[in-house]
Amino acid sequence: MTQISMVVNGTAMTGDVADQTLLVDFLRDDLRLTGTHVGCDTSQCGACLVHVNGLAVKSCTMFAREAQDAEVATIEGQAMADGQLNAIQQAFQTHHGLQCGFCTPGMIMATAALLQDNPKPTEDQIRNYLEGNFCRCTGYHNIVRAVFAASGQDVSLIAAE
Ligand code: FES
Ligand code: FES
């Protein structure tokens, strides 16, 4: 076992991990941050997406020890300080961008990374960016509308289904 340290949602965290422990398992099992989900074993679904040093990362694709000294952000750190939903979360709620919610933490984290790089994405850019995030419920259209709205653009430009 190796002791690792990282800052997760602004708080310094330490833990003892095996060499093969995945970051997603460290977050879920050791830190009890179970908002980061595991939806596949093929690195395809994006349910486990978090930010590591500001970059979107599927946390099932890296070892926990590789995040040594990193700044990690998960869905648990996304709400405002007073507990209110942030703009992206609110847009997903308002525009029905979720049903069962299983994919939603990954979608929210992916959207945050997208809007950081590209504050006013087009519909096509949103669809391309979210290609690595699977949703089994929504058919994606309302997710795209939610992301468009979260970027402050007029969601009526994307037809409702
Ligand atoms: Fe990481 Fe599916 S659990 S991509
Ligand atoms: Fe159910 Fe996306 S809302 S998987």
pLDDT digits (tens, 9 = 90+) for 34-48: 999 999 999 999 999
Segment 10-43, tens digit of pLDDT: 999 999 999 999 999 999 999 999 999 999 999 9
Distance 157 CA to ligand 1 centre (A): 32
pLDDT value at 161 more than 90: no
Residue 132 lies in domain: 87-157
Residue nearest to atom 1 of ligand 2 (CA): 100
Our mutation pick for probing the ligand 1 site, out of 44, 74, 133, counting the most ligand atoms within 8 A of Cβ, is 44
Chosen domain end from 55, 77, 99: 77
Q: For 52, phi and psi rounded to 5 degrees?
A: -125, 115
Which of 77, 108, 132 is where one domain is finished? 77
DSSP 82-134: TS---HHHHHHHHTT--SS-SSHHHHHHHHHHHHHH-SS--HHHHHHHGGG--
pTM exceeds 0.95, yes or no: yes
Asked if the structure places residue 82 within a domain, the reply is no
Q: Please tell me the distance from the alpha carbon of residue 51 to that of residue 34, in angstroms, as a whole number.
A: 15
Query: Distance, CA 55 to ligand 2 centroid (Å)?
Result: 23
With a 6 Å cutoff on the Cβ, whether 48 touches ligand 1 is: yes
Domain boundary among 58, 77, 96: 77
- 70 and 38 in a single domain? The answer is yes
